[in-house]
Amino acid sequence: MKVLLFGATGMVGQGVLRECVLDPGVATVVTIGRNATGQAHPKLREIVHANLFDYAGMESQLTGLDACYFCLGVSSVGMSEPDYRRVTYDLTLAAATVLARLNPNMVFIYVSGMGTDSTEHGRTMWARVKGQTENAVLRLYPLGYAFRPAAIVPLHGIRSKTVFYQAFYSALKPVLPFLERRFPKYVTTTEKLGRAMLRVTREGAPQRVLENIDINRYS
């Protein structure tokens, strides 16, 4: 299986990358991002690409893919809706549209978040934009899925680049294993998220939007 991964330097993407290189069924993991991951593995092939809104001239590197795991995301704090929509909806669809044309049978998994608004008309800005993005991806891909994790516990030395989130995880580290077991509806891990993506890629899922508890079940 050949997998394309966006956001491999972020907390979620790092976890997904780890599970992909460990999985014997994954032959190649292609990462694409503005910066290199800093990791080395025989399965790993990196594409450093400055403009994630434009893939002209590199389409030959984006063919023959079985799956794409889109793990890019930013916090909406302090952002206007047009700005947040550009780096969420516009950026995702720029990649998804090209990939759908080049790999029409590909599985595309978009990492969204718990509370995303599928109606696209709710009061919460980030939830509306995420809902718009989910819906567009699912329309574009017959084998498209949206993953909606809630709290994600970083394992295996993975850290969040967002200072607030990392401080939160560090403060709760002693009780996170308990919370994960006790509240599977609200807590998952980077490991479970990556494993669930791989399983859904291979086996499919009856629902196209997977909430946190579904992610844990498929891990």
Q: Of all residues in the chain, what percent carry a pLDDT higher than 90?
A: 82
Reading the block at residue 179, the tokens are 């919370």
Nearest 5 degrees, angle CA 211-CA 212-CA 217? 95
Strand, coil or helix: what is 151? strand
pTM (two decimals): 0.93
Task: Categorize the per-residue pLDDT at 163 as very low, low, confident or very high, splitting at 50, 70 and 90.
Answer: low
Burial of 204 (C-beta count, 10 Å sphere; 0-12/13-18/19+): exposed
Q: What is the pLDDT of residue 172?
A: 64
The CATH homologous superfamily of the domain defined by 2-218: NAD(P)-binding Rossmann-like Domain (3.40.50.720)
Residues sharing a CB contact under 8 Å with residue 149, sequence separation 6 or more, in sequence order: 12, 111, 113, 114, 188, 193, 212, 215
Range 155-166 average pLDDT: 69
Q: H/E element holding 108? A: strand 107-111
Give me the mean pLDDT over the 136-156 stretch: 94
Residue 116's pLDDT band, with cuts at 50, 70 and 90, is very high
Kindly list the domain boundaries of the chain, sorted by start residue. Answer: 2-218
